Amino acid sequence: MKQSLQLRLHQQLTMTPQLQQAIRLLQLSNVELQQEIQKVLDSNPMLEVKSESDSGNTTLKESIQEAVSLNSSTTPWQGVNNTRSSAPYNDFDFFQNYAKSHSLHEQLLWQINISSLSDDETIIAHALLDGLDNSGFLQTSLKEVQQLVNQQLAEIEIEEIEAVLYFLQHLEPTGVFARSLQESLQLQLAQLAEETPYKSAALALIQKDLEHLSQYNLKQLAKQLKISTEELSGAIELVQSLSSSPADQLDYNDVEYVTPDILVRKVKGRWQAELNTATLPQLRINSIYSNMVRTNQTDRDSAFFKDNLQEARWFLKSIQSRNETLLKVANCIVQEQYDFFEQGEEGMKPLVLQHIAQAIDMHESTVSRVTTQKYMLTPRGVFELKYFFSSHINSHDGNPYSSTAIRALIKKIIAGENPKKPLSDNKVALLLQEQGIDIARRTVAKYREAMNIPPSKERKRLL
């Protein structure tokens, strides 16, 4: 084989460290963000916490504006309304301020229930969910799922099951519903941004037999994949950063106290969302160290101060970006669920991630990150932002009801029943149908069981 040298030019988009930092901060909870801020404070001398008695150093807003001025191509960030009302939540029980983590099965079930799947597709999705192991891998064959589903529905083709499986494989956590480790890694890579460095090389790499990759040397493997050794090293590093088990991405702590990220108050007759800034320190650029950048220093010292100053400004900007996005999503949720804040659960409207994403002109995945492990403090309690999303049930008048509102109505009907003659699921369904809600008996039973309400024969009391 004749050897030759070739010179090729190509353009490639890369995800900058600053963008990676902004995305990572976006999905952090309030407590996790506090830990991240403390970590940065410990490592970067340019950042410090602003005390109430100091006013001479650069504030967060000023630091961001200064960072923006260094890059004319960056869109200026708008100020976030951090003003807080002095009116306390006198009627709120803070001992209820806790969260219980959900299992992998529960989180996937929630995502399926708020999706736009048809009734038949939902049955197929539940059958596939039953075949999932604790690690998030599908252990049931599609043929077995077909046999199970055909007991409830008409003849279902394998292609229909494959279509539902394709949808489920794009739920969170990434890589779930894969039938092998190789497929899980492929799904995780596929959901990365197209501009992710070494993505194509990593996809080609995992096509190989993963169990025998260690037998190859880098040069031989790079030659087989038709890539350079540098690209191969980057691809291996990218694959190693993926999760070998989708369920490992979840936190299974049973109970932990949470700090609300958003506060909702009624101001001048209107419900408004605002950021909870009380728990987060106010950061600023240290003026003493920042002035050293302009003084005569050695090349090594000058580079150290400049690098840390730039990192500090990017960190402040990323926090501001997170706050703006979180506040934008929260305000949109408050507007959409305005009746909930006025009436309670019975006023909850059906809502999906796509609706919020379109309303604020953002990607659906961004809204998903923002609403995960973020909590809203309201006069009615503390709720995770995902709580405000639910599937819908049709009504006779054309106005859909959310599943949350239906559960509240079922609970209200059962609470008002005669203990001597408790209502059956069929009777509850008829009462809801009289209110214009098109609901089946089995749906009432499902919602009743989800609320841990026993059946009618167990609720009967002899007084």
Residue 414 belongs to a domain with what CATH number?
Answer: 1.10.10.60
pTM of the model: 0.54
The reply to whether 135 and 194 lie within a common domain is: yes
**Considering the domain boundaries, does residue 351 fall inside one?**
no
**Considering the domain boundaries, does residue 359 fall inside one?**
no
| Number of domain units in the chain | 3
pLDDT at residue 52 in the model: 62
Alpha-carbon span 213 to 187, nearest angstrom: 20
The reply to whether 109 and 244 lie within a common domain is: yes
**Considering the domain boundaries, does residue 10 fall inside one?**
no
Residue 184 near residue 178, CB atoms below 8 Å:
yes
Last residue of a domain, one of 248, 270, 286: 248
Structure tokens at 314: 């990017």
**Considering the domain boundaries, does residue 263 fall inside one?**
yes
Last residue of a domain, one of 248, 276, 309: 248
**What are residue 287's phi and psi, to 5 degrees?**
-70, -30
Alpha-carbon span 181 to 70, nearest angstrom: 45
Alpha-carbon span 117 to 121, nearest angstrom: 6
Structure tokens at 454: 């026993």
**Considering the domain boundaries, does residue 92 fall inside one?**
no
The reply to whether 262 and 373 lie within a common domain is: yes
Alpha-carbon span 164 to 179, nearest angstrom: 14
The reply to whether 333 and 299 lie within a common domain is: yes
The reply to whether 113 and 236 lie within a common domain is: yes
The reply to whether 135 and 263 lie within a common domain is: no
The reply to whether 160 and 205 lie within a common domain is: yes
**What are the pLDDT digits (tens) for 53-69?**
554 444 444 444 444 44
With b for 16 or more beta-carbon neighbours within 10 A and e for fewer, the 342-381 pattern comes to: eeebbbbbbbbbebbbeeeebeeebbbbbbbbbbbbbeee
47, containing H or E segment: strand 47-49
pLDDT at residue 101 in the model: 52
The reply to whether 188 and 146 lie within a common domain is: yes
**Considering the domain boundaries, does residue 87 fall inside one?**
no
**Which residues of the chain register pLDDT less than 50?**
55-99, 212, 253-254, 462-463
The reply to whether 320 and 205 lie within a common domain is: no
The reply to whether 403 and 454 lie within a common domain is: yes
pLDDT at residue 75 in the model: 33
**Beta strands, E only, 236-367:** 255-257, 262-267, 270-275, 283-285
The reply to whether 218 and 155 lie within a common domain is: yes
**Considering the domain boundaries, does residue 7 fall inside one?**
no
With b for 16 or more beta-carbon neighbours within 10 A and e for fewer, the 118-139 pattern comes to: eeebebbbbbbbebbeebbbbe
Residue 206 near residue 216, CB atoms below 8 Å:
no
Last residue of a domain, one of 194, 222, 248: 248
Question: Residue 223 sits in which domain range?
Answer: 104-248
The reply to whether 43 and 126 lie within a common domain is: no
**Considering the domain boundaries, does residue 83 fall inside one?**
no
**What are residue 401's phi and psi, to 5 degrees?**
-105, 145
Pairing outcome for strands 401-402 and 392-393: antiparallel
pLDDT at residue 90 in the model: 45
